[in-house]
Structure 1
Amino acid sequence: MKNQRRKFIQSSLLLGVGAAVMPLQFCAAPKKDEAIESTASKLAAFGIQLYSVKEDMAIDPVATIRSLAGFGYKQLEGFDGGKGILWGMQPAEFKALMTELGIEMVASHCNVFENLEAQAQQAAEVGIKYLICPWIGPQKSLDEYRAMAKEFNQIGQKLQSFGLKFAYHNHDYTFVDLEGQLPQDVLMNETDPALVDFELDIYWAHVANVKPSDYLAKYPGRFRLCHVKDAEAGTGDPHQRGVLLGQGEIPYAELIKQSKDLGMEYFIVEQERFPTGTPMEAAEANANYLAGLEY
Structure 2
Amino acid sequence: MNNRRKFLKLGAVMASGAFLPFQFCSSPEGKSALVNNNAGRGLSNIGIQLYSVKDQMDEDVRNTLEKIAAYGYDTIEGYDGGKGIFWGMQHRAFKDMTSDLGLKFISTHANVFEGLEQKASEAAEIDLKYLICPYVGPQESMDDFKRLADEFNRIGQVCKDKGIRFAYHNHGYTFEPLEGEMPQDFLMENTDPELVYYEMDFYWVVVPGHDPEAYLRKYSDRFKLGHIKDRRKDASPGEADASTELGTGMIDFLPIIKTAKENGMDYFFAEQERFDNITSMESAEKNAQYLKNVKVS
Q: What is the SS of the residue equivalent to 2:173?
A: helix
Q: What is the SS of the residue equivalent to 2:268?
A: strand
| Match runs of 1:21-40 below 5 Å | 39-40=39-40
Q: Distance in 2 between matches of 1:99 and 1:214?
A: 36
Measured after TM superposition, the shift of residue 127 of structure 1 is 1.5
Q: Distance in 2 between matches of 1:137 and 1:264?
A: 24
More displaced 10-residue stretch of structure 1: 234-243 or 114-123: 234-243
| Match runs of 1:130-279 below 5 Å | 130-233=130-233, 235-279=236-280
The 8 Å contact of residues 79 and 85 in structure 1, kept in 2 or not, is answered as: yes
Uncovered stretches (5+) of structure 1, i.e. residues with no partner? 1-36
| Match runs of 1:78-93 below 5 Å | 78-93=78-93
Q: What is the SS of the residue equivalent to 2:226?
A: strand
Provide the aligned length of Structure 1 versus Structure 2: 260
Q: Distance in 2 between matches of 1:203 and 1:155?
A: 26
Structure showing greater radius of gyration is 1
Aligned to 2:104: 104
Q: TM-score, structure 2 length as denominator?
A: 0.84
One-letter amino acid matched to 1:237: G
Q: Distance in 2 between matches of 1:251 and 1:38?
A: 17
One-letter amino acid matched to 1:62: R
The 8 Å contact of residues 94 and 126 in structure 1, kept in 2 or not, is answered as: no
Aligned to 1:61: 61
Aligned to 2:117: 117
Measured after TM superposition, the shift of residue 99 of structure 1 is 2.0
The 8 Å contact of residues 141 and 178 in structure 2, kept in 1 or not, is answered as: yes
Percent identity (aligned) = 48
Q: Distance in 1 between matches of 2:95 and 2:216?
A: 33
Q: What is the SS of the residue equivalent to 2:213?
A: helix
One-letter amino acid matched to 2:204: W
Measured after TM superposition, the shift of residue 41 of structure 1 is 1.2
The 8 Å contact of residues 207 and 238 in structure 1, kept in 2 or not, is answered as: no
Uncovered stretches (5+) of structure 2, i.e. residues with no partner? 1-36
One-letter amino acid matched to 1:216: L
The 8 Å contact of residues 135 and 170 in structure 1, kept in 2 or not, is answered as: yes
Measured after TM superposition, the shift of residue 65 of structure 1 is 0.8
Q: Distance in 2 between matches of 1:125 and 1:238?
A: 41
Q: Distance in 1 between matches of 2:105 and 2:239?
A: 29
Q: What is the SS of the residue equivalent to 1:238?
A: coil
Q: TM-score, structure 1 length as denominator?
A: 0.85
Q: Distance in 2 between matches of 1:208 and 1:38?
A: 33
Measured after TM superposition, the shift of residue 39 of structure 1 is 4.8
Q: Distance in 2 between matches of 1:287 and 1:54?
A: 17
- Is 1:294 paired with 2:264? no
Q: Distance in 2 between matches of 1:81 and 1:216?
A: 30
One-letter amino acid matched to 2:251: I
Measured after TM superposition, the shift of residue 38 of structure 1 is 8.2
More displaced 10-residue stretch of structure 1: 84-93 or 140-149: 84-93
More displaced 10-residue stretch of structure 1: 152-161 or 120-129: 120-129
Aligned to 1:73: 73
Q: Distance in 1 between matches of 2:115 and 2:90?
A: 17
Q: Which has the higher contact order (CA 8 A, sep 6+)?
A: 2
The 8 Å contact of residues 227 and 271 in structure 2, kept in 1 or not, is answered as: yes
Q: What is the SS of the residue equivalent to 2:48?
A: strand
